[in-house]
Amino acid sequence: MTAQPEHPADPRVPAVPRTINAIRDALAGADRTRFYTEVLAAEANKVPSVMSRWWKVAMLQRAPGADQSRANATAGRSLVSVDDLLVDGT
């Protein structure tokens, strides 16, 4: 018999707030720099689409097993990498 936790941990990844600063803080290294460069250079009407695209990147970076998914896809052990879940134009 195995012991089960009384209150199982919540497997959901907390959402990154959809603000420029929250998205920036959730991104690392070169992605953070690219996001800030794109959002600052975007025309006012394009800022929401830039933020939406980078929000998805930030969320996928937080996903448990994202690095393993990329490694599996590269090695041909998986059909889809987490990065393939991103859709341009949204």
Number of domains in the chain: 1
CB 56 within 8 A of CB 84: no
CB count, 10 Å around CB of 89?
Answer: 6
- Residue ranges of the chain with pLDDT lower than 70? 1-11, 78-82, 85, 87-90
Predicted structure pTM score:
0.67
Chain-centre distance for alpha carbon 84: 12
| pLDDT at res. 90 | 47
- pLDDT (0 to 100) of residue 36: 93
In three state form, how does the secondary structure of 16-82 look? CCCCHHHHHHHCCHHHHHHHHHHHHHCCHHHHHHHHHHHHHHHHHHHCCCHHHHHHHHHHCCCCCCH
Range of the domain at 26: 20-72
Query: Looking at the domain assignment, is residue 89 inside a domain?
Result: no
Residue 81 counted as domain residue: no
